């Protein structure tokens, strides 16, 4: 039996093992909830993990194109990009598939041909990991852009509010209102500053 056929046969066990490994990257109470709650609306992260792992496994076994793999990775990478993971932690789940496969195939890897076939599968997983990293970096760049835009928006709003009226300062000097520019040379002291 070929490795591809064996992988299809052992798909449920491999996916179960892989999903367990992914859930272990979360805090225990969150992982327990994600494993227990099956409703996609109450548990969108767990649902995404379940859907994504199945699609990725099938894509690797069938040696599908990078576009299909990238599409399948998109949801889980978006989720992990906004969670408290480093880049390595966020994409490590892809490489855990190799361990899940080896643990489930075990003794079936007894011939040179089986190792050669497994090597091709693992190379596809490595490529999938690189794709995941690219997607993760794009998502993180977008998160930083959104944050920077929000800081600019808040700063503009604060400057606008400050420019509308007088702001009392403890040395008796008041800043004039009506200007849209923020004067960084303004010697505004803290209200708590006794000097």
Residue with the two structure tokens 């994504």: 52
- Segment 162-186, tens digit of pLDDT: 877 554 445 444 444 444 443 333 3
- Segment 5-62, tens digit of pLDDT: 899 999 999 999 999 999 998 888 877 788 777 777 888 888 889 889 999 999 999 8
Instruction: At 143, list the tokens.
Output: 């998160």
CA distance 43 to 46: 5
Query: What percent of the chain clears pLDDT 70, i.e. is strictly above it?
Result: 84
Which residue would you say has higher pLDDT here, 101 or 144?
A: 101
| CATH class of the 3-151 domain in this structure | mainly alpha
- pLDDT on residue 54: 93
Task: Using pLDDT thresholds of 50, 70 and 90, give the confidence band for residue 147.
Answer: confident
CA distance 118 to 108: 11
Burial class (CB in 10 A: 0-12, 13-18, 19+), 182: middle
Asked whether residue 194 carries a pLDDT value surpassing 70, the answer given is: no
Q: Answer positive or negative: Cα dihedral of 69, 71, 76, 79.
A: positive
Determine the distance from the C-alpha atom of residue 19 to the mean position of all C-alpha atoms in its chain, rounded to a whole number. Answer: 16
CA distance 78 to 67: 16
Q: Give the predicted TM-score (pTM) of the model.
A: 0.71
| Cα dist from 114 to 3, 120, 127, 135, whole Å | 6, 10, 20, 32
């Amino acid at each position: 039996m070929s490795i591809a056929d064996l992988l299809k046969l052992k798909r449920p066990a491999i996916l179960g093992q892989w999903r367990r490994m992914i859930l272990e990257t979360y805090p225990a109470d969150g992982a327990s909830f994600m494993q227990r709650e099956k409703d996609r609306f109450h548990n969108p992260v767990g649902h995404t993990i379940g859907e994504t792992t199945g699609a990725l496994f099938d894509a690797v076994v069938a040696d599908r194109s990078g576009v299909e793999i990238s599409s399948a990775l998109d949801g889980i990478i978006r989720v992990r990009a906004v969670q408290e993971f480093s880049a390595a932690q966020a994409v490590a789940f892809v490489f855990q598939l190799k361990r899940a496969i080896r643990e489930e195939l075990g003794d079936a890897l007894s011939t040179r041909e089986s190792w050669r076939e497994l090597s091709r599968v693992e190379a596809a997983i490595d490529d999938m990991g690189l794709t995941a990293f690219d997607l993760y970096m794009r998502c993180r760049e977008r998160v930083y852009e959104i944050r920077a835009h929000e800081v600019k928006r808040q700063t503009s709003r604060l400057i606008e509010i400050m420019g509308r009226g007088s702001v009392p300062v403890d040395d008796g000097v008041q800043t004039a209102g009506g200007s849209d520019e923020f004067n960084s040379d303004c010697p505004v002291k803290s209200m708590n500053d006794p000097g």
